């Protein structure tokens, strides 16, 4: 498979959301009678859209609000919430920085050491307000932070890095043993990120409760430009979903995969589910919520890297309340509001009564799907022409 790109070198064609479309079903379903709920890490949620562990998106207030609306938000334990007693003031500084100095400021802000008591404090704040506590950190901090988080009553622990593999080789430090880590934890563990069939199979063997799929597609991520890494999300999700299904047939253990990043609208989210995702994780769409701490600004998780930033700060603006973004009514024409309504309407049009059935919707290669008949939208920069 693949085509020649030079002498003795083949490359296969991969696809992103803008290059495919979903085919309407032979049977349609009343959208109000579809079921978009999913089970992730042992918890059934009515909103299958997770909020990414990014400082401009999730804080204690946002996590609680997301829980009450039926979803799940992940708090970043490596970010400002655990480095500063008053993270809002620091976020304000980042938001108000001029573009030319934003990255340097973020790099400086994240050099302040993490205060481990704040890990417990933030988790307890979420729990005390009736929220579901899901938290994330990099592999280097996982063993230490996981114990603190479990003692504080955390519900789900996420180990996340730019690229995660079951086997990591290093001589100057001891790599995290994911097999041992997942076995010893008292709470479900989600691991990320990966994009290939083989790595998905390897990571499923760790006993994790879920996998994050995606390298570099996020709106504020620059990994693809800085490192040249990445697989477009349609192909990545399909490949990893196939690995999930093979592993399930072999072991009887079904592990959800979560497409992470690259979705700008309800349509992209629908396509991710059709590709086999059990849930999706987004950042920029939620960064536009009134409740988001970034107040209309959003920055990548690796923006703070001291030597090689792989993210940037972007202005996304404020679209509306979190409830409006999830459930409408939509007051904009670009598909960024009423995401759950869009998903359920798409399910109805394709004949899928639930997310499992959405996995079998027909997908076509459609390079003109974004432009066909849209000349006036493009010329006026409205709707799909923005």
Averaged pLDDT in 10-residue chunks for the chain of 386 residues:
89 96 98 97 96 96 98 96 96 92 90 96 98 96 97 97 93 93 97 96 98 92 88 98 98 98 95 98 95 93 75 90 95 89 98 98 93 80 78
Under a CB-based contact definition with an 8 Å cutoff, are residues 150 and 143 in contact? no
- Does residue 193 have a cis peptide bond before it, meaning omega lies within 30 degrees of 0? yes
Phi, psi for residue 50 in degrees, rounded to 5: -90, 145
pLDDT in tens, 234-258: 999 999 999 999 999 999 999 999 9
Catalytic positions are: 221, 223
Class of domain 31-385: alpha beta
> What SS3 class is residue 151?
helix
> pTM for this structure?
0.95
Q: What is the pLDDT of residue 270?
A: 98
CA-CA distance, 210 to 340, in Å (whole number)?
Answer: 21
Under a CB-based contact definition with an 8 Å cutoff, are residues 355 and 258 in contact? no
Q: How far is CA 365 from CA 5, 20, 241, 283, 335, in A?
A: 21, 5, 19, 26, 21
Q: How far is CA 73 from CA 154, 160, 190, 298, 370, in A?
A: 12, 14, 13, 16, 30
Q: What is the pLDDT of residue 374?
A: 77
Domain ranges of the chain: 31-385
Q: What is the pLDDT of residue 91?
A: 95
Under a CB-based contact definition with an 8 Å cutoff, are residues 311 and 299 in contact? yes
- Quick one: CA dihedral 247, 216, 350, 364, positive or negative? negative
């Amino acid at each position: 498979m693949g085509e020649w790109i030079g002498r003795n070198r083949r490359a296969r064609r991969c696809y992103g959301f803008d290059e495919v479309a979903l085919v309407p079903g032979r049977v349609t379903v009343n959208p109000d009678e579809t079921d978009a709920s999913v089970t992730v890490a042992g918890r059934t949620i009515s909103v299958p859209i997770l909020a990414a562990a990014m400082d401009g998106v999730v804080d204690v207030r946002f996590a609680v609000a997301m829980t009450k609306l039926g979803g799940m938000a992940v708090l970043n334990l490596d970010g400002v919430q655990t480095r500063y007693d008053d993270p809002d003031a620091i976020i304000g500084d980042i938001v108000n920085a001029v573009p030319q100095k934003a990255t340097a400021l973020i790099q400086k802000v994240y050099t302040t050491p993490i205060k481990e008591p704040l890990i417990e404090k933030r988790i307890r704040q979420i729990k005390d307000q009736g929220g579901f506590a899901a938290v994330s950190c990099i592999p280097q901090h996982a063993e230490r932070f996981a114990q603190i988080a479990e003692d504080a009553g955390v519900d789900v622990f996420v180990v996340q890095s730019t690229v995660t593999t079951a086997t990591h080789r290093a001589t100057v430090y001891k790599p995290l043993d994911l097999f041992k880590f997942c076995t010893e934890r008292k709470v479900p563990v989600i691991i990320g990120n990966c994009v290939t069939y083989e790595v998905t199979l390897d990571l499923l063997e760790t006993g994790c409760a879920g996998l994050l799929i995606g390298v570099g597609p996020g709106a504020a991520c620059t990994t693809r430009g800085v490192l040249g890494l990445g697989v477009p999300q349609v192909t990545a999700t399909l490949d990893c979903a196939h690995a999930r299904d093979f592993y399930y047939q072999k072991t009887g253990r079904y592990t959800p995969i979560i497409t992470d990043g690259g979705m700008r609208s309800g349509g992209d989210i629908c396509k991710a589910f059709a590709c086999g995702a059990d849930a999706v994780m987004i950042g920029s769409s939620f960064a536009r919520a009134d409740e988001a701490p970034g107040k209309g600004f959003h920055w990548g998780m690796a923006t703070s890297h001291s030597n090689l930033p792989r993210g940037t700060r972007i202005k996304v603006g404020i679209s509306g309340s979190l409830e409006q973004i999830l459930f409408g009514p939509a007051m904009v024409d670009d598909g960024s509001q009423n995401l759950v309504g869009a998903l359920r309407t798409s399910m109805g049009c394709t004949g899928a009564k639930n997310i499992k059935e959405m996995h079998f919707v027909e997908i076509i290669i459609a390079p003109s799907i974004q432009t066909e008949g849209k000349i006036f939208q493009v010329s006026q920069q409205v709707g799909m022409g923005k």
